[in-house]
Structure 1
Amino acid sequence: MGRKLELEKNENPEKACIEVIWKPKIGQIGKLEKEYEMILKRTLQSICILTVNPNTTTSVIIQVANDDGVVSFMHFP
């Protein structure tokens, strides 16, 4: 998690980019996990001010530890 200076294709250099990676507990990432990534990315893009740090990418990695319907967060400074 963090910011890095980068510019991929289809990115606006005047705005920050948010990258979301969803890692399932086991197995390969499927269609459902890709949909989770897109939902979370769109949600974060709508609530973050993307012009504060232009031309940067913030990566958010979600690792599924348990799939029991509960969401818990760990923050690493």
Structure 2
Amino acid sequence: MNNLTAPKQKYERFKELFARSRQRYLDSGGNPRSCPSGLKGDDYRTDEERQELFTLGRELGRVRIIGDDFHTAGRSWKISK
């Protein structure tokens, strides 16, 4: 992957994971005009897909978590527990 295609491929994978979970929601009888809460257990994702989405989201959004600090766009703040 070169520097220009890597983010595009990651974004396509990100969209694919959301589309897959959306289809599972609809296949299970979900309302097509609504969406699930997005909370674990109600997001129609496997643990592996959920972890991959978190990782891709951090990379695409240029988010870093260092210790108890959240860093993005030149700013940082503490993560509440």
The structure whose residues are more often strand, as a share, is 1
* Length-normalised TM-score, structure 1: 0.31
* Length-normalised TM-score, structure 2: 0.30
The structure whose residues are more often helix, as a share, is 2
User: Greater RCO between the two (CA within 8 Å, min separation 6)?
Assistant: 1
